[in-house]
Chains A and B, each alone.
Chain A
Amino acid sequence: QKEVEQNSGPLSVPEGAIASLNCTYSDRVSQSFFWYRQYSGKSPELIMSIYSNGDKEDGRFTAQLNKASQYVSLLIRDSQPSDSATYLCAVGFQKLVFGTGTRLLVSP
């Protein structure tokens, strides 16, 4: 059974701080990793994808992948109240396995 684990949160950070979201996965042969943001009542939106070990930066977002530790994380710099949402980690190729999501709350 392939699994993706996330802390459900909520993770509370003040505006302007760095939010760190973590995810572990069980399938060692996984090659593709994604972070989705889901606002309440809305569908998931792809915000980051990462395929090789190391860091990948896109604006305020940085995804980090460590395949040896089976660990992927998402850093959000200069967090804004509009970043408040549930962040879903997903692993796989096309047919993704999703984590249960981490709820992020950014307070003004």
Chain B
Amino acid sequence: GAVVSQHPSWVICKSGTSVKIECRSLDFQATTMFWYRQFPKQSLMLMATSNEGSKATYEQGVEKDKFLINHASLTLSTLTVTSAHPEDSSFYICSAPKTTGQGVAPLHFGNGTRLTVT
């Protein structure tokens, strides 16, 4: 079954509005979550690392004031795309590491959110 839940699956918004995407770890706690973006026919691009109880860490070239990340609890991280523009249209995917019995923690991905800005 799903390990990470992400909502909404798709959203269409008008240019200039903001969109919030939620990412939840199911049945486990995630002090760290990762937000990716993927444009058509391209690979995953890490946008930021979401840290529970502290500020997110953004990758080079990602505007922290445009992509607001909040990790208010051990199971929930949110990404808000502020003042969205058509060039922000993309597939946004969150992920969380889940520790296995062997002490390793592979990343599990949510189903992604397809954002279209008109």
Chain A: residues with CB nearer than 8 A to chain B? 32, 34, 36, 41-46, 49, 51, 88, 90, 93-96, 98-101
* CB neighbours of B102 from chain A (8 A): 51
Which of A36, A90, A95 neighbours the largest number of chain B CB atoms within 10 Å of its CB?
Answer: A95
Q: Are A46 and B106 in contact (CB under 8 A)?
A: yes
Q: Are A46 and B107 in contact (CB under 8 A)?
A: yes
Would you call B49 an interface residue if the criterion is a C-beta within 8 Å of the partner chain's C-beta atoms? yes
Q: Are B109 and A34 in contact (CB under 8 A)?
A: no
Q: Contact check: which of B6, B91, B107 meets A96 at CB < 8 Å?
A: B107
Chain A minimum-CB-distance residue to B32: A94
25 A-B residue pairs with Cβ-Cβ distance under 8 Å, sorted by A, are A34-B106, A36-B109, A41-B114, A43-B6, A43-B93, A43-B109, A43-B110, A44-B44, A44-B93, A44-B109, A46-B106, A46-B107, A46-B109, A49-B104, A88-B43, A93-B105, A94-B32, A94-B34, A94-B97, A94-B105, A94-B107, A96-B107, A98-B44, A100-B43, A101-B43
Q: Contact check: which of B32, B49, B93, B107 meets A34 at CB < 8 Å?
A: B107
* CB neighbours of A44 from chain B (8 A): 44, 93, 109
Would you call B68 an interface residue if the criterion is a C-beta within 8 Å of the partner chain's C-beta atoms? no
Interchain pairs with CB closer than 8 A, number: 47
Q: Contact check: which of B34, B42, B109, B114 meets A95 at CB < 8 Å?
A: B34
Chain B minimum-CB-distance residue to A49: B106
Chain B: residues with CB nearer than 8 A to chain A? 6, 32, 34, 42-44, 46, 49, 91, 93, 97, 102, 104-112, 114
Q: When chains A and B are docked, how far (Å) is the Cα of A45 from the Cα of B6?
A: 14
Q: Are A88 and B44 in contact (CB under 8 A)?
A: yes
B56 CB to closest chain A CB, in angstroms?
Answer: 13
* CB neighbours of A42 from chain B (8 A): 111-112
Q: When chains A and B are docked, how far (Å) is the Cα of A93 from the Cα of B49?
A: 13
Q: When chains A and B are docked, how far (Å) is the Cα of A100 from the Cα of B111?
A: 19
Which 4 A-B residue pairs are closest in the complex by CB-CB distance?
A43-B112, A100-B43, A43-B109, A94-B97
